Amino acid sequence: MATTAEPAPSGEYTHAQILTIMSGLMLGMFLAALDQTIVSTAIRTIADDLNGLSIQAWATTAYLITSTITTPIYGKLGDLYGRKRLFMTAITIFVVGSALCSLATSMYSLAAYRALQGLGAGGLFTLVLAIIGDVVSPRERAKYSGYFMAVFGTSSVLGPVIGGFLAGQDTLLGMSGWRWVFLVNVPVGIIAFIVVLRTLHVHHHKPEYKVRIDWWGALALVVTLVPLLAVAEQGREWGWGSAVSIACYVIGAVGLVGFVLAERAMGEAALFPLRLLRIRAVTVTVVSSIVIGAAMFGGILVLPLYMQIVHGASPTESGFLMLPMVVGIMSAAMSSGILISRSGNVRPFPIVGSALVVVGLFALSFTGADTHLWIVMIPMFVLGFGLGNCMQPLLLAVQSAVSPREIGVATSSATFFRQIGGTLGVAVFLSILFSTVGDNIETALTAAAKTEAFQEAAAANGGFDASVIAQVQDDSSVLTTLPAALAHPIQVGFAESMDQVFLFASGVGVIAFLVLLLMPKVELRATSAAAERGADPEASTPAS
């Protein structure tokens, strides 16, 4: 089997060459996707071992900040200097950061190493999608989406299983089990690096215009996002109206103004050329990505909590219980890909998809503590099917709407704004959940206290102290120590708060649906970006 994938003189690649290239790209994407799910499962064990449970969020925040900020930077640098070396650099940084994470001795050192890891992760997703944009035409690209959805689906299932297993081991080969959560990235990353080195041969056409690096834009982006992401993650602890939070809002607003001014001054060299917003498909994609990201990440975040807290599933079991949504995402991605490749019409899919997201989330808002899991899985599948119809079609639309030389900027922008929306969604939905759960539990306990079963269980348990409510909100494992009659009203309270989150998320989904109605018809290109650049370099140079 050939280990190279040189294109034909026309710049086009054969199906076999594309699959060869994709083997390395999927390994890189699997690396990042697996890390997200495997760490989230093990983070409580990690925090307990490092005596930093109260500050564990900083490890997540540090990774999120660096990966989000570098996403558009990787996209722009890839357009300017080529993507292969940049992709290999991102893999290297990610692997080094992973290895260092396994050596962490405190939560603060882990946060620092996770920040380094995030510097690499920011390039993995966006460069993979941009490289595919280079070698496959938008119309044909839809057919390959199933491969990448399979990567997401596999990581969604394997991550919690592997993370739960490793975190549950006191020692493994002489090291604490949780340290292998990060070490597993090392061999996978090395294999991905080698495969990419040997198989990825995408010719880069240097821009015809003078290259300038938008350092001021990058700095302004850091000033904008760091305080806003920090308050999004920590606002519930600090207080959304506290002096620290207000200071973060002000600094973020100043940074945003600075970013807009820097992008206007840099023109074509900007990280995100503002003229792209004149293209309606780009504007609609940017706005809808933020809103869909909020609904998607916020809604999905609550589902594992529902499985674990309300139905008593372990982290590993909750991973398997998420399968209906994963199947929905994969089946929608593959079916929409086939239909798009045949018709070339991408517009209906995100519109229908956002409508299904609304239906799925709204149906989930009626689930309770006593709802059978098989009933819950039906709206989970609908939600997944809706998301699968949004993600890939939106990316195809924005990549076709811009110049072939700006595939990286377009791809990273869609990914970047979806991450921003997701971060805001997580912060808002967690705030809704934990600000309402106390009152809902008290209401459920008041009703349950009148029953004979509750009174008998409380007497057998030596009484029932109301302080248990506060304990459960900090450590849900307390539920496993309570008799079923005492635990059930607490689970009812959690379920009712989660219903409020799902209902709010469905409202956000309605906004996405209305925005997507403004999407114009986008003509998907029948040739790859690499072929277009090779055939007409001048035509693909961005207009001034």
**SS3 letters across 9-62:** CCCCCCHHHHHHHHHHHHHHHHHHHHHHHHHHHHHHHHHHHCCCHHHCHHHHHH
Are 490 and 444 contacting, i.e. CB atoms less than 8 angstroms apart?
yes
Phi, psi of 279 (to 5 degrees): -85, 115
This prediction has a pTM of 0.78
Contacting residues for 230 by C-beta, under 8 A, at least 6 apart: 61, 65, 248
Contacting residues for 219 by C-beta, under 8 A, at least 6 apart: none
Instruction: Using a pLDDT cut of 70, give the percent of the chain over it.
Output: 84
Q: Position of tokens 């939106």?
A: 394
Q: Could you give the CA distance from residue 219 to residue 225 in angstroms, rounded to a whole number?
A: 10
Q: What is the homologous superfamily of the domain 276-459+478-523 according to CATH?
A: MFS general substrate transporter like domains (1.20.1250.20)
Q: Could you give the CA distance from residue 49 to residue 62 in angstroms, rounded to a whole number?
A: 19
524 conformational bin, left if phi > 0, alpha if psi -120 to 50, beta if neither: beta
Q: Which of 187-196, 347-356, 434-443 has the lowest mean pLDDT?
A: 434-443
pLDDT for the residue 1: 40
Are 400 and 525 contacting, i.e. CB atoms less than 8 angstroms apart?
yes
pLDDT for the residue 125: 80
Q: Residues 485-492: what's their mean pLDDT?
A: 85
Q: Position of tokens 């119309």?
A: 139
DSSP character for 277? G
Q: Residues 148-172: what's their mean pLDDT?
A: 75
pLDDT for the residue 336: 83
Instruction: Give the residue extent of every domain in the chain.
Output: 1-209, 215-270, 276-459+478-523
Q: Is 172 helix (H, G, I), strand (E, B) or coil?
A: strand
Q: Could you give the CA distance from residue 401 to residue 411 in angstroms, rounded to a whole number?
A: 11
Element (H, E) at 176: strand 175-176
With cut-offs at 50, 70 and 90, classify the pLDDT of residue 510: very high
Q: Residues 234-250: what's their mean pLDDT?
A: 85
Q: Is 86 helix (H, G, I), strand (E, B) or coil?
A: helix
pLDDT tens digits, 46-82: 877 887 655 666 777 788 778 878 888 888 788 777 7
For residue 204, the one-letter residue type is: H
Q: Is the pLDDT of residue 93 over 80?
A: yes
Averaged confidence pLDDT in the chain: 80
Q: Could you give the CA distance from residue 274 to residue 421 in angstroms, rounded to a whole number?
A: 20
Q: Could you give the CA distance from residue 472 to residue 126 in angstroms, rounded to a whole number?
A: 39
Q: Could you give the CA distance from residue 260 to residue 494 in angstroms, rounded to a whole number?
A: 42
How large is the C-alpha radius of gyration of the chain? Answer: 24
In CATH terms, 1-209 corresponds, of 3.40.50.2000, 3.90.76.10, 1.20.1250.20, 2.60.120.10, to 1.20.1250.20
Q: Is the pLDDT of residue 335 over 60?
A: yes
Q: Could you give the CA distance from residue 415 to residue 69 in angstroms, rounded to a whole number?
A: 11
Domains 1-209 and 276-459+478-523 share a fold: yes
